[in-house]
Amino acid sequence: MSTMHRLGILLSGRGSNFIAIADSVAAGRIPNAEISVVISNKADAPGLAAASARNLTALAIEANGRKRAEHDAAIVAALREHRVDLVCLAGYMRLLSPSFIQAFPQRILNIHPSLLPAFPGLDAQHQAFEYGIKIAGCTVHFVDEQLDHGVIVLQRAIPVEESDDAQTLSARILEQEHIAYTEAIKRVLSGEYVIEGRRFRKR
Ligand code: GRF
Tell me the per-residue pLDDT of 102-147, one tens digit each, with 9 for 90 and over: 999 999 999 999 999 999 999 999 999 999 999 999 999 999 999 9
Ligand 1 pocket: which of 115, 177, 182 to mutate (most atoms within 8 A of CB):
177
Evaluate whether 187 touches 154 at the Cβ level (below 8 Å).
yes
Atom of ligand 1 nearest to the CA of 170: 2
Evaluate whether 92 touches 63 at the Cβ level (below 8 Å).
no
Dist. CA 39–CA 60, nearest whole Å = 6
- pLDDT, position 95: 94
What is the average per-residue pLDDT within 88-110?
Answer: 97
Rg of the Cα trace of the chain? 16
Share of the chain above pLDDT 70, in %: 99
- pLDDT, position 141: 98
Spacing, Cα 15 to ligand 1 middle (Å): 7
Q: For residue 13, how far is the Cα from the chain centroid?
A: 12
What is the average per-residue pLDDT within 167-175?
Answer: 98
Of 94, 119, 120, nearest to 108 by C-alpha is: 94
Q: Is the dihedral of CA 176, 181, 186, 191 positive or negative?
A: positive
- pLDDT, position 1: 52
pLDDT of residue 2 exceeding 90, the answer is no
Average pLDDT value over all residues in the chain? 97
Dist. CA 162–CA 5, nearest whole Å = 43
pLDDT tens, position by position, 13-31: 999 999 999 999 999 999 9
Q: Which of 5, 71, 82, 112 is catalytic?
A: 112
- pLDDT, position 3: 87
Catalytic-residue membership of 178: no
What is the average per-residue pLDDT within 192-202?
Answer: 97
What pLDDT band is residue 180 in, cutting at 50, 70 and 90? very high
User: Does pTM top 0.95 for this prediction?
Assistant: yes
Atom of ligand 1 nearest to the CA of 174: 2
